Structure 1
């Protein structure tokens, strides 16, 4: 034994002019140092690795007090003093993890193990080992923080989450899961999750569960109803995934549910509203057919009476009013034809659109405002070529031109005559129609998102009802077009209407 001791502790090797025992070499390789306090002569001995851990020179020889003072001031230093005194006075070994500050002021976590050497019931020495566990503790701390983060995220997630065993028992759940179902977290532990399902939905997921366990899928999602503790029903979007161990063996399921009760109820209301709207549209369509048929009859009668006047009593037509009446009846008949066409439109598909000469429709629209144009001294500029045609529903094209021109005149500035410029150009997909005015303008920063909204008005005008732009936008979209707007306060507005043409 003595020979083995000498071999381990007394035989020296030399490296970089520093002498090491064989045990020093082993300690260096395993990063564990040894130490000894001889109580007979108060001599403290540190191995080379112990000195490396403390970041002192290899020729450093500490005293007992210096050795204690390396431990972090406060709790750690006081603990080491108490434990060392107990080892001396009560022969109690110790094994603790504490922090120390090295000679280079680095903080390290170390494990200190100490044993008293006893002779004749008196402690002769205290020997021990020291191990640098800084990296291990750092890893454990990082792991602890990650686990805490995962636990906190799980517990406080806004959506309900639960861990479910492979046989369907709830292992744990978060607060949202408890709140959704009206149970406490403690009540849900061990609860068979299937007993919470609506009776008609119990068989929704068994095959999906089998596929998860068999590794055929990683997750699945479905809509499902659950019964709350108070017997009320909630509609949920259920997502289930499976957790596996390092051998790919299933461990448990992770269930994630989102309460979609409000959305489901809203969808049912929308479905009911759509059915009601469809029925009302059918009634409106029938009404439009009846109105257009009856108006056609009346306008036809007026036209026939005027024709009789021209043929039988021509002298009665020899005045300035009859030609105006005739023109009005002609326009009425044309409007009725357009109304009849609108009433027969079904889905506003491309085949329902007609080829319309844009300049003709523009001139006709402007003629409706001859009185206002004269009264306001408006300047009308038309930059539209005669050969430009758009695909449109005539009644809608009439309506949108009428509305934009009407707004340009209505919302003019008081101190200058209105100037309206209508232009058109062809692009690859659309005829772009621009209607520009120098009127009051619209504050787009304030009204951009609601400019085409129903009942939205932007000026305190007595005739503003908030219907025109809403109707016009819907008419344009019904013709598979689009509309954009640019405007500045007291500078004017430019509406850009994009309508398809025959090639497209």
Structure 2
């Protein structure tokens, strides 16, 4: 429950328990939002009918203007008391302004209490009309009368005794008795208040705790009025008390809850703000303000999306606006987004907007909450990347084992057989032939060992120093290396690196990727058309993507897609083809967490997509 609703509920609870009364509560438009009390029906008013109606819609025209002026004064913070005598009934009317702690808005409470029984008290005491007027002037249910200010003897009404839990005249009604019942820390305060009233006619109106018969202190509100003799000297002091214990305890509970809320609100590690339904900031907690180095004065009253937290992007501001609109309509909204800290560091937060609604479903305010999940998201990302690397490394180990067993077994087995034949032959020509075959086989085995060494080197260099590299500069370096070949093949190379001009990467690997892909484009160019190569980069889902496209011979991927990046896999009758380049490129890229894809059609060309 928000503090506004709690305040209203507390006042309603208090009002519903005032006996012999009519209680009305109204807002700034003089529209009644609470009506209760038996005295309303006694005067032919229906409380249920009055709720939701304005003052003008309820009271007769002849009474409206006077009441309107009275209500306006109350809504400006003034407390008013008056008396109404219908001839048969006497009412004390009290108009009380109540200011909301949450908004500063004034509400009004009108209490009309039937005090007709005071006439009986007047008759019983055989007091003058002056005494009666003074008694009812102190609005309340219990009456006290210090009929001689120079004496300590008083008179207390039966209701006064009842409020204290005593039978009528069970204890002596004296000034000393009163101060004995008064809680010690209030004795000086009450004495000072009485003295000030006697000397200056400053209204006597105080709240103080009195000890009841049960020994428990209860809170009372007292009002009194002194009467003076012809010489102006105080003569008589009459007043009333009402039981406000429930109200005071409710107020204390409200204060404690507000303090608790403030402590939780300010000390929580979450980023919390309270907004108007329109999105304007009412309050932001210290955690949120410290994050951006702000004060509440700098952001209060601003639209939430216009504050420095949301300068990360126009997209995040638009998303926030839409979330606030949905929440204002009653929907709970939650999503992940980014905000900026004071050093422009980007934080990822689990963000939500929750509407706070009244009993009728109207949105009173919005509660926004952001929980920093930057470290969590980083850990999740690293866990995924680690998992992917482990899967990749397992696959590479399988490939490595396969290459070792398959590509070395055959040449080594062949070398053993040739060596065996050499020991058995005596023909010189056959020996020369076998020796030549032995050399070729050994060369092939050495080539395989060299490739395996390169693979091992790639895995060993996973943490190789990375530099900020220019794609254009790397491409130019490779073009310089292959310049004679490019000129001889009449290759046209177009490039576009505007969307992603640089990358953090090991220079040796990026150079190897460009050189292998460009040399393949030249090596497998179509004899039917000039060789054209297009190289470009762009950003996609937070990653840099390199596209390498040519219009060469192409590859039939229907049957060869799984073999494209295999060791010693070739697809054209090219004497220079070894089937090693794409195998190394794939290993180098995947070793650093990237991946490579291929699309190709025979006699159309080939496109490689590398995501770093």
Q: Normalising by structure 2, what TM-score?
A: 0.42
Summarize the Cα distance change of 1:212–1:193 in structure 2 as closer, same or farther, 3 Å threshold: closer
- Three-state SS of the structure 2 residue aligned to 1:59 is coil
From 226, 229, 233, give the equivalent of 1:119: 229
Residue 38 of structure 1 and its aligned partner are, at CA, apart by: 1.0
Match of 1:101 in 2: 211
From 321, 329, 336, give the equivalent of 1:214: 329
Match of 2:339 in 1: 226
List per-residue Cα deviations over 1:261-286 (Å, max 9, x = no partner): 22233333344434433433332121
- 2:283, 2:118 → 1: CA distance? 60
Residues 135-146 of structure 1 mapped to structure 2, 5 A cutoff: 135-146=246-257
- Three-state SS of the structure 2 residue aligned to 1:190 is coil
1:201 corresponds to 2:316: yes
- 1:40, 1:208 → 2: CA distance? 68
Residue 127 of structure 1 and its aligned partner are, at CA, apart by: 0.2
Match of 1:238 in 2: 351
Match of 2:141 in 1: 32
- 2:147, 2:348 → 1: CA distance? 76
Residues 311-350 of structure 1 mapped to structure 2, 5 A cutoff: none
On the 8 A contact 2:278/2:328 being kept in 1, the answer is: no
- 2:197, 2:208 → 1: CA distance? 17
Match of 1:153 in 2: 264
- 1:188, 1:5 → 2: CA distance? 57
- Three-state SS of the structure 1 residue aligned to 2:264 is helix
On the 8 A contact 2:149/2:234 being kept in 1, the answer is: no
List per-residue Cα deviations over 1:397-419 (Å, max 9, x = no partner): xxxxxxxxxxxxxxxxxxxxxxx
List per-residue Cα deviations over 1:293-318 (Å, max 9, x = no partner): 368769999xx9xxxxxxxxxxxxxx
Residue 114 of structure 1 and its aligned partner are, at CA, apart by: 0.9
Summarize the Cα distance change of 1:171–1:283 in structure 2 as closer, same or farther, 3 Å threshold: same
Summarize the Cα distance change of 1:232–1:192 in structure 2 as closer, same or farther, 3 Å threshold: farther
- 2:378, 2:295 → 1: CA distance? 27
Summarize the Cα distance change of 1:255–1:5 in structure 2 as closer, same or farther, 3 Å threshold: closer
Match of 2:553 in 1: none
Kindly tell me the number of residue pairs found equivalent between the two proteins: 287
- 1:271, 1:87 → 2: CA distance? 79
Summarize the Cα distance change of 1:300–1:221 in structure 2 as closer, same or farther, 3 Å threshold: same
On the 8 A contact 2:225/2:237 being kept in 1, the answer is: yes
Q: Normalising by structure 1, what TM-score?
A: 0.50
List per-residue Cα deviations over 1:169-189 (Å, max 9, x = no partner): 322111111233332333332
Match of 2:121 in 1: 9
On the 8 A contact 2:328/2:366 being kept in 1, the answer is: no
On the 8 A contact 2:277/2:364 being kept in 1, the answer is: yes
Residue 57 of structure 1 and its aligned partner are, at CA, apart by: 3.2
- 1:187, 1:285 → 2: CA distance? 61
Residue 56 of structure 1 and its aligned partner are, at CA, apart by: 3.2
Match of 2:289 in 1: 178
Residue 11 of structure 1 and its aligned partner are, at CA, apart by: 5.5
- Three-state SS of the structure 2 residue aligned to 1:226 is strand
Backbone CA RMSD of aligned residues: 3.6
- 1:285, 1:250 → 2: CA distance? 62
From 132, 156, 164, give the equivalent of 1:54: 164
Match of 1:289 in 2: 402
Match of 1:262 in 2: 375
- Three-state SS of the structure 2 residue aligned to 1:139 is helix
From 44, 60, 66, give the equivalent of 2:154: 44
Match of 1:376 in 2: none
Summarize the Cα distance change of 1:235–1:5 in structure 2 as closer, same or farther, 3 Å threshold: closer
From 291, 298, 301, give the equivalent of 1:190: 301
Residue 230 of structure 1 and its aligned partner are, at CA, apart by: 2.6
